[in-house]
Amino acid sequence: METNRLAIEGGTPIRKNYLPYGKQDVDQSDMDAVVKVLKSEYLTTGPMIEVFENTIAAYVGSQFAVAFSSGTAALHAACYAAGIKEKDQVITTPMTFAATANAIKYQGGEVVFADIDSKTYNISPESIENVINDQTKAIITVDFTGQPVNYQAIRNIATRYQIPFISDAAHGLGAVYHGEKVGSLADMTMFSFHPVKHITTGEGGLITTNNKQYYQKLRTFRNHGIVREQEKISIKHQPWYYEMQSLGFNYRMTDIQAALGTNQAKKIDAFLNKRKAIAHQYTEAFQNFDLLTTPFQLDDIESSWHLYIVRLHLNRLTVGRTEIFQALQKENIGVNVHYIPVYYHPYYQKMGYKKGICPHAELLYEEMITLPLFPKMTNQDVNDVIEAVKKVLRHYEVKT
Q: Which of 237, 265, 293 is the last residue of a domain?
A: 265
The share of the chain scoring above pLDDT 70, in percent, equals: 98
268-286 and 379-395 helices, crossing angle to 10°: 30
User: Same domain, yes or no, for 253 and 183?
Assistant: yes
Least Cα distance to 261 among 30, 75, 71 occurs for 30
User: Same domain, yes or no, for 385 and 258?
Assistant: no
User: Using one digit for the tens of pLDDT, what is the confidence trace for 36-60?
Assistant: 999 999 999 999 999 999 999 999 9
Q: Which of 218, 237, 265 is the last residue of a domain?
A: 265
What average pLDDT does range 322-326 have in this prediction?
A: 97
> Cα separation of 209 and 189, whole Å?
7
238 vs 364: which has the higher pLDDT: 364
CB 183 within 8 A of CB 189: yes
Residue 2 clears pLDDT 60, i.e. is over it: no
Q: How confident is the model at residue 269 (pLDDT cuts 50, 70, 90)?
A: very high
User: Same domain, yes or no, for 203 and 316?
Assistant: no
> Cα separation of 242 and 255, whole Å?
22
pLDDT score for 10? 67
User: Using one digit for the tens of pLDDT, what is the confidence trace for 204-213?
Assistant: 999 999 999 9
CB 361 within 8 A of CB 120: no
Domain annotation covers residue 195: yes
Assign residue 345 the CATH number of its domain.
3.90.1150.10
At 271, which amino acid appears? F
Residue 279 clears pLDDT 60, i.e. is over it: yes
Residue 5 clears pLDDT 50, i.e. is over it: no
321-330 and 379-395 helices, crossing angle to 10°: 140
Q: If you ran DSSP here, which 8-state letter would residue 67 be given?
A: E
User: What is the phi/psi pair of residue 180, to 5°?
Assistant: -115, 135
User: Same domain, yes or no, for 261 and 273?
Assistant: no
Q: 274: domain range?
A: 8-23+268-395
CA dihedral over 104, 108, 109, 110, signed as positive or negative: positive
Domain annotation covers residue 237: yes
User: Same domain, yes or no, for 100 and 244?
Assistant: yes
pLDDT score for 1? 38
Residue 9 clears pLDDT 80, i.e. is over it: no
pLDDT score for 255? 98
Q: Which of 210, 235, 265 is the last residue of a domain?
A: 265
Assign residue 252 the CATH number of its domain.
3.40.640.10
Residue 6 clears pLDDT 60, i.e. is over it: no
User: Same domain, yes or no, for 302 and 238?
Assistant: no
Residue 222 clears pLDDT 70, i.e. is over it: yes
Domain annotation covers residue 96: yes
Quote the number of domains for the chain: 2
Domain annotation covers residue 1: no
Residue 363 clears pLDDT 70, i.e. is over it: yes
pLDDT score for 11? 80
Lowest-pLDDT range, 216-220, 298-302, 325-329?
Answer: 298-302
User: Same domain, yes or no, for 169 and 215?
Assistant: yes
Lowest-pLDDT range, 55-69, 237-251, 270-284?
Answer: 237-251
CA 341 to chain centre: 15
Per-chain mean pLDDT for the chain: 96
What average pLDDT does range 140-146 have in this prediction?
A: 98
User: Same domain, yes or no, for 208 and 276?
Assistant: no
237 vs 103: which has the higher pLDDT: 103
CB 46 within 8 A of CB 259: no
Say if strands 176-177 and 180-181 run parallel, antiparallel, or are unpaired. antiparallel
> Cα separation of 368 and 338, whole Å?
8
Domain annotation covers residue 3: no
What average pLDDT does range 376-393 have in this prediction?
A: 98
What average pLDDT does range 206-235 have in this prediction?
A: 95
Least Cα distance to 176 among 198, 196, 149 occurs for 149
Largest CA distance in the chain: 85
User: Same domain, yes or no, for 136 and 224?
Assistant: yes
pLDDT score for 90? 98
Residue 316 clears pLDDT 90, i.e. is over it: yes
Least Cα distance to 136 among 97, 163, 175 occurs for 163
Least Cα distance to 27 among 304, 270, 328 occurs for 270
Residue 3 clears pLDDT 60, i.e. is over it: no
User: What is the phi/psi pair of residue 38, to 5°?
Assistant: -60, -25
CB 282 within 8 A of CB 385: yes
Strands (E), 204-304: 205-209, 226-227, 243-244, 292-293, 301-302
pLDDT score for 230? 84
For the chain, the residue count is: 400
Residue 99 clears pLDDT 60, i.e. is over it: yes
Domain annotation covers residue 259: yes
User: Same domain, yes or no, for 54 and 179?
Assistant: yes
> Cα separation of 396 and 387, whole Å?
14
User: Using one digit for the tens of pLDDT, what is the confidence trace for 150-200?
Assistant: 999 999 999 999 999 999 999 999 999 999 999 999 999 999 999 999 999
User: Same domain, yes or no, for 184 and 290?
Assistant: no
Instruction: Give Cα separations from 78 to 148, 260, 330, 368, 382 (angstroms).
Output: 19, 24, 41, 30, 37
Beta bridge partners of 244: 226
Q: Does residue 251 have a cis bond before it (omega within 30 degrees)? A: no
33 class by beta-carbon count within 10 Å (0-12 exposed, 13-18 middle, 19+ buried)? buried
CB 336 within 8 A of CB 309: no
User: Same domain, yes or no, for 256 and 344?
Assistant: no
